[in-house]
Amino acid sequence: MKTYYITYILLFLSLLLGSNTALYAQQIEELKITGSYQNKPLEKFLNDLETKYNLRVYYKDSWVENYTISNQFEDTPLLQALNNVFYDLELTYDFFQNDGIVVFRRSADTRSKFDDYTQTLVVGDPMNLGRYKTAELKGRVLDGKDGTPLVGAVVYCNKLQKGTTSDAKGNFELDLPTGDLKLTITYIGFEGSTIDIRLIEDGAADFRLFEESHNIDEVTVLGSDADVPRAQMSMVQMTGKEIQQLPALMGEVDVLKGLTILAGVQTVSELSSGFNVRGGNTDQNLILVNGSPVFNSSHLFGFMSLINPDVVENVRLFKGGMPARYGERVASVMEVDFKEGNDETISVYGGIGIINSRLAIDGPLTKNKKLTTAIGGRSSYTDWILKKIPNLDLNEGVTHFYDVTGKLTYKINQHNKISAMAYTSFDEFSTSSQSITEYGNLLGNLKLNNRFGEKFYGELDAAYSRYDFRLTDLANDKPFEAYYLDNQLVYSSVAYNFKWHPNERHNSEAGFKAVYNEISPGEIIPRQDTSVIVARKLDIEKTLDWSVYVSDEFQILPNFSIVAGLRYNHFKNIGTPVVYLYDENQPKSPGTVVDSLQFGNNEASATYGGIEPRLALNYDFDMNTSLKFSYQRTRQNIFQLSNNAVISPAETWKAADYHLKPLISDQVAVGLENNSLLSNVDLSVEVYYKNLQNLIEYKNGAQLIMNDHVETALVPTKGYSYGIELSARKNIGRLTGYASYVYSRTMRKNTSEFNEENLWTGDYYPSIYDKPHDFSLTATYNISRRWRFSGNFVMVSGRPTTLPEIKYEFAGEDLVYYSDRNKYRMPPYHRLDLSITFDENLRKKRMWKGSWTLSIYNVYGRNNPYSVYYKKSVPGESNNYTRYSLFKLSVIGIPVPSLTYNFRF
């Protein structure tokens, strides 16, 4: 009998007769259900119970009409079928008389209930006590104050010596025997919790932890991260809370700067955008901000990163062992996930400093808490920094930036969730009165998370990214020579990823991704109507590539696991209208063009493809020591052409084409990890070797900007990198920190068939990123509950440089002969930063929480040279009466203090 309403009287009667419910259930529990309900409306299942099994089902249409189920039954007991159907729904059921079922909304999560008398959390229906031998406990670990997921929280059963950790959403899954158990849940910086659980059947529960106001004792983590393979190596992960514990530089925690203290990660140099991973170029790093790539990751030409720490939930950096789902770059992948916004209450946090200020808000937007948001913004006022720089050109400049981030998340139901992210940033600076540089990022992303069953998940990811760059030459003394120089890159992609988790020892992934790029390499626009500058625009490059991948993780033995993956990439350059052909017997130059090829608007001028195998192994000698191995092949189809001798981000992008092949990298690494050799210290050592094909190097005097024949300025090159990385991390106690030392080499060799194009006569020579010795140390000391002191020290070998060796006169002019490329080295780079933080109050119940941070960048005022250059000067005693002298440019040669007030309420 189908009804279109449900009355509270009927519900009351069913609950009133609860003492007889077990009897009625026993009378009908022999009823078996058969049927397939894959993506079928819940109402269809309820109707079948009435028509096929003569049951009376009472419900309200508006409560069930939006639900679909994916279940299959074959002679399944009715009780079990109902439990499976309603497990993840916001509805539940009860029996009414001996042939009736009442469906109603949960007033609370009835899958788990706390028994006040026994102080035990009961998971499952007591009617099913003893029915199952094992059960799967699913749950979330949340911040007890605001409901924020706690990533990496440890859930451990001491009796069984079995545990796991929560993933990026705070979720965990644990297969356990049914019965009475005791779970311990811990998270760094929070008070641990021990809970008695009576596990009856598969069920779920939320667990909340609260911040502690004192240091915690050691926590031993057992079990594997639910979202990271055990065999994963060369990866670092930080949660939003861990990021906030990094040393504050310039009064604010900087995610990218924090990562450069890690073994194998280096900054290019002082105030340079980007970072290098294991000797790779800056353009070889894929930085994904909530799934959308970023093509310039810095503010204030590298002084600060584009990532607002207040809106970050999780950061991952893969230096090697790259999972098969990633491609597009050959050196590293960094994932930055923004917060979804907590679903409990509106929170406001930010900081006010003497360099920049920031503000962020997150929380629910609707009463049912299904729609949440997280919004943040920053703005700077940093002109005073340039005024203090000891350089006559730089200290006359101005600079500022802003960025705004927003994310909306809508939880459709227990199985589906959709989120949208938007990010925009803008930087403007001038290092002299002659020019102005502007650049900005615009990002967008849409994600749809699906759960198709208990073990099968999917994620749709659509991404957009645009990078704009403009250089304005003011030509103050000759305004008719003023002009704008623009370039742009627009990226669009769509991807779908599948995950299958059949059991705790086996995980599989598969997916595809399609990417479309439009590269505008350069355009010159006169600044005035009357001008000697001729407007000109280079042809736009359009590229299309797609990839498919499959990956499988399997724990072969309790102490041995393997991850094997395969990725295929197919690339087309479809936007090059003209390809110039050159005399094969001479080096490429505009003067050796012998013919050209013409292509239609969407006709492919070049096509490349190849497979990218991935392999990772993990062997545990014991619970404290593991040996890991990884191999990866990666391909990269677009490159950055950049003059690294200048401060401004004057770069353009170039796609693989008829003349330039995709960059291919093969990397193998072996690592050993131990957390027992030294008390409370995690030790690791990794050795890696990387071989690179189809690198590009620039000819001497190469013109990279506004060059119609840019391939003539490049030399085909190959290279290799190798190194050993030693690191130690202490996360427990008053003193915590991280130390690393790396010895590495990065070499290049030109492979042109024309000897006059090859540098170093065709021998291997050091890359500009070859810095053999790299030592980093960062530490935080908790002086008391409110005061903490942090420091950061780095020392790195000077980067290679090219210097003049011979000066001679010809036709009355002084001419300079330069050395071989990268023959000399800059002086070693070292810097010390310090900060001290005072927390105003630690009371849990007080809404407003504030802290003061005083930091000093470059404490002892080290003049680290950015570059060395040769320029004309007035002869005198200081330069040995020479007309040309060698100068070193040090951008930040003084201590730079900053005071910031951070708050949260």
Domain endpoint, select from 105, 120, 138: 105
Clarify whether residues 431 and 302 are in a common domain: yes
pLDDT on residue 843:
55
426-439, pLDDT tens digit by residue? 988 776 667 888 88
Which letter does DSSP use for residue 252 in this model? Answer: B
Model confidence at 88: pLDDT above 50: yes
Mean pLDDT for 387-401 is 62
pLDDT on residue 633:
96
Mean pLDDT for 809-827 is 78
Kindly state the helix (H) or strand (E) to which residue 567 belongs, with its residue range: strand 560-573
12-56, pLDDT tens digit by residue? 444 444 434 443 444 565 688 888 888 888 888 988 888 888 888
268-298, pLDDT tens digit by residue? 666 555 788 998 888 899 999 999 999 888 8
pLDDT on residue 318:
92
pLDDT on residue 32:
84
Clarify whether residues 434 and 454 are in a common domain: yes
Q: Tokens 């139901």 label which residue?
A: 413
pLDDT on residue 817:
76
322-358, pLDDT tens digit by residue? 999 999 999 999 998 888 887 778 888 888 887 778 8
Model confidence at 870: pLDDT above 60: no
Burial environment of residue 456 by CB neighbours within 10 A (0 to 12, 13 to 18, 19 or more)? middle
Kindly state the helix (H) or strand (E) to which residue 548 belongs, with its residue range: strand 541-557
Model confidence at 567: pLDDT above 90: yes
Most confidently modeled range among 458-467, 785-794, 883-892: 458-467
Domain endpoint, select from 70, 105, 140: 105
Higher pLDDT residue, 702 or 629? 629
Model confidence at 581: pLDDT above 50: yes
Clarify whether residues 99 and 121 are in a common domain: no
In a domain, 75, yes or no: yes
Higher pLDDT residue, 372 or 61? 372
Clarify whether residues 292 and 183 are in a common domain: no
In a domain, 798, yes or no: yes
Mean pLDDT for 113-138 is 69
Q: How far is Cα 204 from Cα 451, in angstroms, rounded to an integer? A: 16
Q: Helices 8-16 and 18-28, interaxial angle, to 10°?
A: 90
In a domain, 432, yes or no: yes
Model confidence at 698: pLDDT above 50: yes
517-556, pLDDT tens digit by residue? 999 998 999 888 888 888 999 989 999 999 999 999 888 8
pLDDT on residue 814:
67
In a domain, 375, yes or no: yes
What pLDDT band is residue 113 in, cutting at 50, 70 and 90? low
CATH code assigned at 90:
3.55.50.30
The DSSP annotation for 191-246 comes to --EEEEEEE-SSEEEEEEE-B-SS--------S-BTTS-TT--SEEEEEHHHHTTS
Clarify whether residues 296 and 350 are in a common domain: yes
Model confidence at 774: pLDDT above 60: yes
Clarify whether residues 204 and 336 are in a common domain: no
The DSSP annotation for 386-400 comes to HHHSS-TTGGG-EEE
| Secondary structure class of 534 (helix, strand, coil) | coil
Clarify whether residues 248 and 394 are in a common domain: yes
Model confidence at 107: pLDDT above 60: no
487-512, pLDDT tens digit by residue? 999 999 999 999 888 877 888 999 99
Q: How far is Cα 234 from Cα 263, in angstroms, rounded to an integer? A: 10
Model confidence at 163: pLDDT above 90: no
CB-facing half-sphere around the CA of 769: CA atoms within 13 A: 26
pLDDT on residue 385:
59
Model confidence at 154: pLDDT above 60: yes
pLDDT on residue 11:
45
In a domain, 215, yes or no: no
The 3 state secondary structure assigned to 812-825 is: CEEEEEECCCCCEE
Mean pLDDT for 299-314 is 77
What pLDDT band is residue 247 in, cutting at 50, 70 and 90? low
Per the CB < 8 A criterion, the answer to whether 544 and 572 are in contact is yes
The single-letter code of the amino acid at 480 is F
Model confidence at 475: pLDDT above 50: yes
Clarify whether residues 169 and 73 are in a common domain: no
Mean pLDDT for 183-211 is 81
Smallest CA-to-CA distance from 401 within 451, 355, 464 is with 355
Phi (first) and psi of residue 686, to 5 degrees: -130, 140
pLDDT on residue 518:
94
CATH code assigned at 684:
2.40.170.20
User: Over pLDDT 90: what percentage of the chain?
Assistant: 26
pLDDT on residue 228:
57
In a domain, 217, yes or no: no
pLDDT on residue 147:
65
- Torsion sign over Cα 818, 821, 824, 827: positive
pLDDT on residue 399:
77
Clarify whether residues 49 and 179 are in a common domain: no
Clarify whether residues 97 and 117 are in a common domain: no
When computed from its CA atoms, the radius of gyration of the chain, rounded to whole angstroms, is 31
What pLDDT band is residue 628 in, cutting at 50, 70 and 90? very high
What pLDDT band is residue 6 in, cutting at 50, 70 and 90? very low
Higher pLDDT residue, 693 or 882? 693
Smallest CA-to-CA distance from 458 within 447, 467, 466 is with 447
In a domain, 345, yes or no: yes
pLDDT on residue 381:
77
Clarify whether residues 74 and 205 are in a common domain: no
Q: How many domains does the chain have?
A: 3
Q: What is the residue range of 170's domain?
A: 112-209
pLDDT on residue 263:
86
Model confidence at 793: pLDDT above 50: yes
Rounded to 5°, angle at Cα 631 from 629 and 633: 165
What pLDDT band is residue 169 in, cutting at 50, 70 and 90? confident
In a domain, 216, yes or no: no
Which letter does DSSP use for residue 644 in this model? Answer: T
pLDDT on residue 57:
86
> What number of H helices and E strands is found in the chain?
8, 57
Mean pLDDT for 666-678 is 90
Clarify whether residues 619 and 746 are in a common domain: yes
Per-chain mean pLDDT for the chain: 81
Higher pLDDT residue, 363 or 745? 745
pLDDT on residue 221:
37
198-246, pLDDT tens digit by residue? 888 888 888 888 776 444 333 333 333 445 566 678 888 776 666 666 6
Q: How far is Cα 353 from Cα 900, in angstroms, rounded to an integer? A: 4
pLDDT on residue 823:
87
Token digits of residue 178:
């049914």
Q: Tokens 């797609």 label which residue?
A: 546
pLDDT on residue 218:
39
159-163, 185-189, 293-297: the lowest-pLDDT one: 159-163
Domain endpoint, select from 161, 194, 209: 209
Mean pLDDT for 258-273 is 72
User: Over pLDDT 70: what percentage of the chain?
Assistant: 81
